[in-house]
């Protein structure tokens, strides 16, 4: 009963948003990884993004004017991972704060002697458990290279859904924790080794080396690659690709005909 009422409220709020076909097309044009979607999937993503925009509370940091184009781009990217999961996976928080470019967050760390050190950490985005998602916005995505800030931060939100930030979201009933752990632990260990070797050689790994910071970051970066460069993730870590395919209920490498057969 509660779920039906929540869906009705979402649909009612979303129906009040006026979004033209041209606005959708302009937003999607800048997100080429959406080209793999079938017509039906694209329509479902638009409706999910519309409901997402209506349900969340949006605000802009000083120096940025929040526009419909910005909201559409963020919403499409945020909703792609939950296309076959549903908007309830983003329940429990409402705020999205958009910054004009990268920003800094004050941090505190306590060393072994109990001394508190304060510093400013420059970031592109951050997801707070139970709180808002902070995102930087760059009109020209070439400024930040091959990085999907939005998918990354919303992957963290999915990771947090089970109360822990450990690189393992709440798995579906037909998934096994043992399989997830085996795939991700082995891949994370291998990737950390690769990053160290690349640093010694003055090279950079194809997958963002930030993934070596923590298992939760590996999950977030792997999610980026799963949607934006699925062939790379499949080639490098096929077991991780399989687990993400099961979790997200999507297969970016599948052709539309294969996807149709899988759902029969």
Q: Is the pLDDT of residue 256 over 70?
A: no
Output the pLDDT for position 106.
Answer: 62
**Per residue in 84-100, pLDDT tens?**
999 999 999 999 999 99
Distance CA 231, CA 214 (A): 23
pLDDT tier for residue 261 given thresholds of 50, 70 and 90: very low
CATH of region 162-264: 3.40.390.10
Domain segments of the chain as ranges:
1-143, 162-264
Output the pLDDT for position 141.
Answer: 61
Stated pTM of the model: 0.86
**Per residue in 174-201, pLDDT tens?**
999 999 999 999 999 999 999 999 999 9
- Stated as kind and residue range, the H or E segment containing 146 is none
Q: What is the mean pLDDT of residues 38-58?
A: 96
In contact, 82 and 100? CB cutoff 8 Å: no
Output the pLDDT for position 258.
Answer: 45
In contact, 87 and 51? CB cutoff 8 Å: yes
Output the pLDDT for position 8.
Answer: 43
Distance CA 67, CA 191 (A): 38
**Residue 264 CA to its chain's centroid (Å):** 28
Cα 220 to Cα 42, 68, 149, 244: the distances in Å are: 23, 26, 10, 11
Tokens representing 209 are: 């080396």
Output the pLDDT for position 128.
Answer: 87
Output the average pLDDT for the chain: 87
Distance CA 260, CA 258 (A): 5
Q: What is the mean pLDDT of residues 109-133?
A: 74
Q: Using alpha carbons, select from 120, 135, 128, 158 the residue that is nearest to residue 59.
A: 135
Higher pLDDT, residue 13 or 94: 94
Distance CA 154, CA 78 (A): 6
CATH of region 1-143: 1.10.472.150
């Amino acid at each position: 009963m509660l779920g039906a009422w929540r869906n009705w409220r979402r649909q009612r709020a979303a129906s009040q948003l006026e979004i033209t076909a041209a606005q959708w097309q302009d937003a999607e044009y800048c997100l080429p990884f959406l080209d793999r979607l079938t017509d039906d999937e694209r329509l479902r993503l638009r409706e999910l993004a519309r409901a997402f925009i209506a349900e969340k509370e949006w605000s802009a940091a000083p120096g940025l004017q929040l526009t419909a184009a910005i909201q559409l781009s963020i919403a499409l990217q945020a909703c792609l991972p939950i296309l076959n999961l549903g908007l309830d996976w983003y329940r429990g928080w409402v705020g999205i704060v958009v910054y004009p470019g990268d920003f800094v967050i004050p941090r505190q760390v306590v060393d072994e002697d109990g001394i508190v050190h304060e510093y400013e950490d420059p970031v592109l985005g951050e997801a707070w458990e139970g709180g808002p998602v902070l995102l930087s916005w760059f009109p020209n995505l070439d400024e930040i290279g091959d990085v999907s800030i939005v998918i990354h931060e919303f992957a963290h939100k999915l990771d947090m859904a089970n109360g822990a930030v450990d690189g393992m979201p709440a798995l579906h009933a037909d998934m096994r924790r043992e399989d997830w752990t085996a795939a991700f632990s082995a891949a994370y260990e291998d990737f950390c080794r690769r990053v160290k070797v690349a640093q010694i050689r003055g090279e950079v790994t194809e997958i963002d080396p930030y993934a070596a910071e923590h298992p939760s970051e590996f999950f977030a970066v792997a999610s980026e690659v799963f949607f934006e460069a699925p062939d790379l993730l499949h080639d490098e870590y096929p077991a991780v690709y399989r687990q993400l395919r099961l979790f997200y209920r999507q297969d970016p490498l599948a052709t539309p005909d294969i996807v149709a057969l899988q759902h029969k």
